[in-house]
């Protein structure tokens, strides 16, 4: 059984030869560059480069020798992972590369800024920071429906889609990895990103024509982009990555009623479009936090796969999740706690937790192994290695 077959078997809620493994298949299942450098050193891998394909999160593109070393089954189809590249220096001074399209400004105080095409600072990393935080909300000052209609919502160019199609063809025909297409389709997160967190929460509370227009225009743009994207790559990918962080450590960001009234209808239109037009593609939703109360609605909206399965958050007990939703939902993640065990435990403790999680999630398929979200700076490479080795040792059916 090859990687693509293994993943598709698990997604069909059947048991493959072993639990599939993901490491870097999308932008929330990978590793920070500052953690990737010592991991490569620990594994004795000297060749290659440190390619920071997600500049905001400072994520490294996981290279083929490590994919092979950890028996990874999934790879991303992500435009920023394709190059071209430009030189970059990590916060600790390590030479690296970032996509050539990024413009970085280095301030005298040690801060770094990402600039947009107009030269505006849109994200910032403080002198002692490790990530870029968004500092510009393009629709923060919008007040009328006309303001929304005048906004340029954006999308991929024909040239970018052609590059993605070429990469998808190559991955499909020249490898046996499962391929996850990076899309997004955010609703709540898009509102927070465009309007600002506080303002969009107020928008949801007020409701009315302004919010309705915002959500309609946003969703119509997502659907236009989705159709163009899948027309280009849909025959080659098996999974499409959507995202909307609906949860916090303590539970959902919004009430179930608010989700059903203002977010779910748009999720359903987007995910339903995928199922209607590309029924072979599984809808993967990255959704952080404690979202137990929302899971029945997510399933009804068309979510096939839930990630990162943040079991440290309120209500996200792995036994209960598998028992209640394991027949209808694939769990992708939840394999090791990145807030506690992975950074602070011993390799033996990491192995034991992986073993426990596999015993819970693996039966009857419907599970892909991954740690909970990205591996952060400072996580010992010994623990990372122990985690993936345990996934192989204990993941055999």
Which ranges of 117-207 does DSSP label H, i.e. alpha helix? Answer: 145-149, 158-174, 188-195, 197-206
- Sequence-distant (6+) residues with CB within 8 A of 231 are none
Spatial separation of the C-alpha atoms in residues 71 and 314, rounded to whole Å: 32
Domains of the chain by residue range:
3-30+138-394
- Give backbone dihedrals phi and psi of 88, rounded to 5 degrees, phi first: -155, 155
- H/E stretch holding 53 reads strand 52-54
pLDDT tens series, the chain, 397 aa: 999 999 999 999 999 999 999 999 999 999 999 999 999 999 999 999 999 999 999 999 999 999 999 999 999 999 999 999 999 999 999 999 999 999 999 999 999 999 999 999 999 999 999 999 999 999 999 999 999 999 999 999 999 999 999 999 999 999 999 999 999 999 999 999 999 999 999 999 999 999 999 999 999 999 999 999 999 999 999 999 999 999 999 999 999 999 999 999 999 999 999 999 999 999 999 999 999 999 999 999 999 999 999 999 999 999 999 999 999 999 999 999 999 999 999 999 999 999 999 999 999 999 999 999 999 999 999 999 999 999 999 999 9
Distance of CA 358 to the CA centre of its chain: 21
**What pLDDT, on the 0 to 100 scale, is given for residue 355?**
99
**What pLDDT, on the 0 to 100 scale, is given for residue 380?**
99
- Sequence-distant (6+) residues with CB within 8 A of 275 are 283, 302
Contact 354, 391 (CB under 8 A): yes
Q: Which CATH number fits domain 3-30+138-394: 3.40.50.300, 3.20.20.210, 3.40.109.10, 3.40.1390.10?
A: 3.20.20.210
Locate tokens 């899948």: which residue? 230
**What pLDDT, on the 0 to 100 scale, is given for residue 366?**
99
């Amino acid at each position: 059984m090859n990687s693509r077959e293994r993943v598709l078997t698990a997604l069909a809620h059947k048991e493959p030869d072993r639990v599939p493994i993901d490491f870097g298949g999308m932008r929330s299942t990978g590793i920070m560059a500052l953690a990737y450098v010592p991991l490569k050193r620990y594994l004795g891998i000297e060749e290659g480069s440190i390619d920071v394909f997600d500049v905001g999160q400072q994520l490294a593109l996981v290279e083929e020798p490590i994919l092979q070393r950890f028996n990874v089954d999934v790879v991303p189809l992500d435009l920023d992972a394709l190059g071209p590249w430009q030189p970059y220096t990590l916060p600790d001074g390590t030479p690296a590369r970032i996509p050539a399209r990024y413009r970085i400004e280095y301030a005298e105080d040690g801060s770094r800024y990402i600039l947009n095409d107009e030269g505006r600072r849109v994200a910032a990393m403080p002198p002692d920071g490790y990530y870029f935080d968004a500092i510009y909300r393009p629709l923060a000052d919008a007040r009328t429906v006309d303001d929304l209609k005048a906004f340029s919502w954006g999308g991929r160019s024909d040239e970018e889609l052609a590059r993605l199609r070429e990469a998808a063809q190559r991955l499909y025909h020249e490898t046996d990895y499962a391929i996850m297409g990076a899309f997004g389709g955010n609703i709540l997160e898009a509102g927070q990103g465009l309007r600002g967190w506080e303002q969009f929460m107020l928008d949801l509370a007020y409701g009315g024509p302004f919010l309705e227009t915002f959500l309609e225009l946003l969703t119509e743009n997502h659907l236009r982009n989705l159709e163009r994207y899948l027309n280009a790559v849909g025959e080659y990918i098996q999974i499409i990555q959507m995202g909307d962080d609906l949860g916090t450590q303590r539970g959902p960001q919004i009430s179930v009623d608010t989700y059903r009234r203002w977010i779910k209808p748009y999720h359903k239109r987007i995910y339903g479009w995928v199922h209607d037009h590309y029924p072979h593609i599984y809808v993967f939703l990255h959704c952080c936090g404690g979202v137990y109360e929302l899971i029945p609605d997510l399933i009804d909206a068309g979510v096939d796969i839930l990630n990162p399965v943040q079991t440290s958050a309120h209500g996200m007990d792995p036994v209960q999740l598998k028992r209640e939703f394991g027949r209808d939902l694939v769990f992708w993640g939840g394999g090791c706690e990145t807030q506690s065990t992975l950074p602070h435990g011993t390799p033996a403790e990491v192995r034991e937790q992986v073993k426990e999680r596999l015993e819970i999630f693996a039966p009857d398929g419907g599970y892909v192994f991954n740690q909970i979200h990205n591996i952060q700076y400072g996580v010992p490479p010994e623990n990372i290695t122990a985690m993936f080795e345990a996934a192989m040792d204990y993941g055999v059916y």
